[in-house]
């Protein structure tokens, strides 16, 4: 085949297939090199000749929509433009609203570090939560990204109520759970309100939504805050103050790092300068530098999460279709295998229960079975094991229904085993609960006894829902999450620390509790002040009264105003109550007598 014939054929192929220009050129170049080392020459306009390869390129360029004639440099330029045009564009294009929120995010980050991160106490947490929810909601509405739904309103309310509880009660015995859940709610509200959950709402894929919200979206958009500053400072005169502001922030950060090092290496002169500056700027000025330093990554995280959700950047890395395909692919076990496993486990539990009926149900009647030396040993024996078994059963049911080839709605036997195992687990939960109730009846209430009871109630609700799931189709994860959120919000607002101490105080004064546990009282802190006053004024036990006076005197001298943002209604009320009754510490303060119980 001649070179000219080959060129004509390849040109027609380019028109019909529309293959990329550079691919056609490469193939032509390789073919020409193989056929002949001397390239055929074709006459062109002017006084020279062009290789057939370049003539073919000009013809292909013409079929792709470029104008003729063009130089080699022009061809390369337009090819580059077509390549760049095929690259995906960055969806994050900040405007003035993004800039304003970027600045607000730094303020929020500073407040979080200053008032929340190092204490998680008092009205400072409430103030941050309120400011966070207001600014995030306003930003979403302003950008047209707010999805008004019942779920968004629900999580907005739950987040604010838990945050508001910090200004009311300290909840020291419940602090870790409350703080973790507040953070989770604040993050989850963003993806729900912006419509970025995997299924468009809370679903059984909650774990994936959580990974998206806490890790993928914020860290994939971690530099969005600085992109907002740099992008707008290039094109708008009204934001030329940004380089100055950025310079101040960087200077403050560097100063917060360098000043402590210089102060350590100082021979005296620099300390005099700092001693002069501290009264002028306040004793907390240098702490502010440290807080500002830590506020930068916190602000970047907050802005990355919220701006990424608004601009849909990094929100679709885990796709719904892919997850659904994985779930379908996981259904690999035959119904026979699943039924044998569930049936064997149900039989094992039934044998276990019927083999020790007197022991199992004695706690319901409040009677200690024979062979147990005391109530503490009986109540503690097997309690946490039963709770663990309930969790294992939940995992077994989840895995069985997830890996079964037959859906539960299509398998009558699978539904029967699901109901049977759920009922058996409810019996085990009731047994564990009765043992804990017996323990509380003898030794009183503590947070370590109250929280497991709350958890068992939650587990019982989940297993009842599992039974209902065999008839009605709904998201059990969504139901469990809503119930859990309501329970934690309710605990946060009900002041469980005070509830524990007051329960023990009332039972002690009524004569149904032999001792008033002072260790539980000390753990409650300010929450135990009012019940302690009540016991002090009504008991005849002089030893107990001396210990209570010591406890109240300590809280009389506690300065809750040292860190104003940590003050709560409960703390201020307790101090006022102690001051009104004039509980003063003895001098010298003797070591208090221990009075604790099992």
Q: Is 475 helix (H, G, I), strand (E, B) or coil?
A: coil
What is the structure's pLDDT at 61? Answer: 43
**Is residue 324 predicted with pLDDT exceeding 50?**
yes
What is the structure's pLDDT at 156? Answer: 97
What is the structure's pLDDT at 33? Answer: 45
User: Is pLDDT larger for residue 488 or for residue 280?
Assistant: 488
* Range of weakest confidence among 70-74, 199-203, 372-376, 533-537: 70-74
Q: From CA 294, how far away is CA 188, in angstroms rounded?
A: 23
Residue 512: left (phi > 0), alpha (psi -120 to 50), or beta? Answer: alpha
Q: What is the DSSP letter of 526?
A: G
Nearest to 529 by CA among 550, 557, 552, 506: 552
**Residue 373: pLDDT band with limits 50, 70, 90:** low
**Is residue 369 predicted with pLDDT exceeding 80?**
no
- 267-320 pLDDT tens trace: 556 556 555 444 434 456 667 778 888 899 999 999 999 999 999 998 888 888
- 246-263 pLDDT tens trace: 666 666 666 666 766 666
Instruction: Give the residue extent of every domain in the chain.
Output: 3-85, 92-322, 330-493, 497-581
**Residue 385: pLDDT band with limits 50, 70, 90:** confident
DSSP of 365-399, one letter per residue? HT-PPTT-S-HHHHHHTTHHHHHHHHHHHHHHHHH
What's the gap between Cα 120 and its chain centre? Answer: 16
What is the structure's pLDDT at 261? Answer: 65
Nearest to 176 by CA among 461, 559, 448, 380: 448
Q: What global pTM score does this model have?
A: 0.75
Measured between alpha carbons, how far is residue 46 from residues 49, 52, 54, 60 in Å? 8, 16, 15, 21
């Amino acid at each position: 085949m001649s070179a000219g014939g080959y060129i004509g054929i390849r040109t027609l192929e380019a028109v019909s297939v529309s293959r990329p220009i550079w691919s056609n050129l490469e193939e032509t170049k390789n073919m020409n090199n193989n056929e002949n080392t001397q390239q055929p020459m074709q006459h062109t306009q002017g006084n020279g000749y062009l290789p057939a390869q370049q003539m073919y390129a000009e013809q292909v360029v013409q079929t792709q929509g470029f104008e003729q004639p063009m130089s080699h440099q022009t061809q390369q330029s337009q090819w580059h433009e077509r390549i760049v045009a095929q690259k995906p564009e960055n969806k994050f294009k900040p405007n003035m609203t993004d800039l304003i929120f970027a600045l607000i995010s730094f303020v929020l980050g500073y407040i979080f570090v200053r008032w929340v991160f190092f204490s998680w106490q008092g009205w400072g947490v409430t103030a941050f939560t309120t400011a966070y929810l207001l600014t995030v909601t306003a930003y979403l509405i302003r950008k047209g990204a707010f999805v008004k739904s019942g779920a968004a309103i629900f999580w907005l309310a739950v987040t604010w109520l838990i945050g508001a509880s910090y200004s009311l009660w300290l909840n020291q015995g419940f602090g870790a759970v409350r703080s973790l859940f507040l953070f989770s709610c604040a993050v989850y509200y963003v993806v729900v309100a912006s419509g970025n959950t995997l299924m468009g709402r809370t679903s059984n894929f909650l774990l994936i939504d959580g990974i998206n919200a806490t890790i993928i979206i914020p860290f994939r958009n971690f530099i969005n805050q600085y992109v907002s500053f740099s992008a707008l400072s290039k094109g708008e005169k009204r934001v030329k103050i940004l380089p100055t502001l950025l310079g101040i922030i960087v200077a403050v950060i560097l100063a917060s790092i360098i000043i402590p090092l210089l102060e350590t290496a100082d021979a005296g002169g620099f300390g005099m300068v700092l001693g002069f500056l501290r009264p002028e700027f306040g004793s907390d000025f240098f702490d502010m530098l440290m807080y500002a330093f830590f506020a930068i990554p916190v602000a970047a995280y907050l802005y990355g999460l919220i701006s990424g959700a608004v601009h849909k950047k990094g929100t679709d890395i885990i796709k719904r279709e892919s997850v659904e395909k994985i779930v379908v692919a996981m259904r690999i076990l035959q119904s026979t295998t699943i039924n044998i496993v569930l049936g064997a486990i149900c039989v094992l539990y039934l044998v276990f229960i019927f083999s020790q009926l007197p022991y199992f149900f004695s706690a319901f009647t409040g009677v200690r079975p024979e062979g147990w030396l005391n109530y503490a040993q009986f109540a503690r024996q097997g309690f946490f094991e039963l709770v663990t078994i309930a969790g294992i059963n939940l995992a077994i049911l989840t895995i069985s229904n997830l890996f079964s080839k037959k859906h539960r709605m299509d398998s009558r036997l699978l539904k029967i085993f699901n109901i049977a195992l759920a009922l058996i687990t409810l019996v085990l939960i009731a047994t564990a609960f009765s043992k804990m109730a017996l323990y509380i009846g003898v030794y009183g209430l503590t947070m370590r006894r109250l929280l497991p009871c709350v958890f068992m109630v939650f587990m019982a609700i989940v297993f009842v829902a599992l039974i209902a799931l065999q008839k009605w189709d709904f998201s059990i994860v969504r139901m469990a999450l809503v119930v859990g959120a309501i329970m934690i919000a309710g605990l946060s607002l009900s002041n469980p620390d005070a509830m524990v101490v007051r329960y023990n105080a009332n039972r002690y004064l009524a004569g149904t509790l032999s001792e008033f546990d002072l260790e539980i009282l000390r753990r409650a802190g300010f929450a135990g002040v009012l019940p302690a006053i009540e016991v002090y004024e009504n008991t005849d036990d002089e030893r107990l009264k001396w210990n209570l006076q010591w406890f109240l005197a300590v809280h009389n001298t506690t300065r809750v105003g040292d860190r104003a943002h940590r003050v709560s209604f409960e703390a201020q009320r307790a101090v006022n109550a102690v001051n009104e009754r004039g509980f003063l510490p003895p001098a010298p303060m003797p070591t208090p007598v221990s009075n604790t119980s099992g």
